[in-house]
Amino acid sequence: MSRRESAKKRLLSPDPVYNSQLIHIIVNQLMKRGKKSVAYKLFYDSMNQIKNKTQKDPLKTVEQAIRNATPMLEVKSRRVAGSTQQVPRDVSERRGTALAVRWILSSCRSKSGINMVSKLSTQFLEASRNTGNAVRKKNEMQKMADANKVFARPKY
């Protein structure tokens, strides 16, 4: 990271089928070893599976899942007077979305057995219903931030 200037944020082009930048973010995180076409196939197959299970628009389900898994607060370690404190901070919208996507995909990868399409659709459905590993992780982070609210100081 540059010391003089902050890095410029790159704009992502929307995906070809649903015309959504969120899907492009998810596919980029899902992709391994540069195989974007494989990641798109996995994601679109899971979207079709969500559509067959719920009979609703799968894009709205995925957006709701990301919204439910996005944290509002996070804790950051800060060294104050010789001791390390967990200081709660607000999460920017961009970082919150990135964390939610990362948590959903990591919970997919941690499960064993069934294929990735089924795991992905299951995780999105669980997160859209406010259950699942990603939402649990968000709640843990919120509890930790609430417990350490004492160390929050206003910036002068």
Per the listing, tokens 């990735």 go with 116
Domain that holds residue 103: 21-151
> Is 8 within a domain?
no
**How many DSSP H helices and E strands does the chain contain?**
6, 2
Rounded Cα distance between 123 and 132, Å, is 7
Report if residue 2 sits inside a domain. Answer: no
Residue 115 lies in a domain: yes
Domain annotation covers residue 39: yes
What's 10's DSSP letter? P
pLDDT in single tens digits along all 156 residues of the chain: 568 888 888 888 998 899 999 999 999 999 999 999 999 999 999 999 999 999 999 999 999 999 999 999 998 888 878 888 888 889 999 999 999 999 999 999 998 888 999 999 999 999 999 999 999 999 999 999 988 888 777 654
How far is Cα 20 from Cα 122, in angstroms, rounded to an integer? 21
Look up the CATH number of the domain holding residue 69.
1.10.455.10
On whether residue 4 sits in a domain, the answer given is: no
The domain tally of the chain equals 1
Q: Please give the model's pTM, rounded to 2 decimal places.
A: 0.88
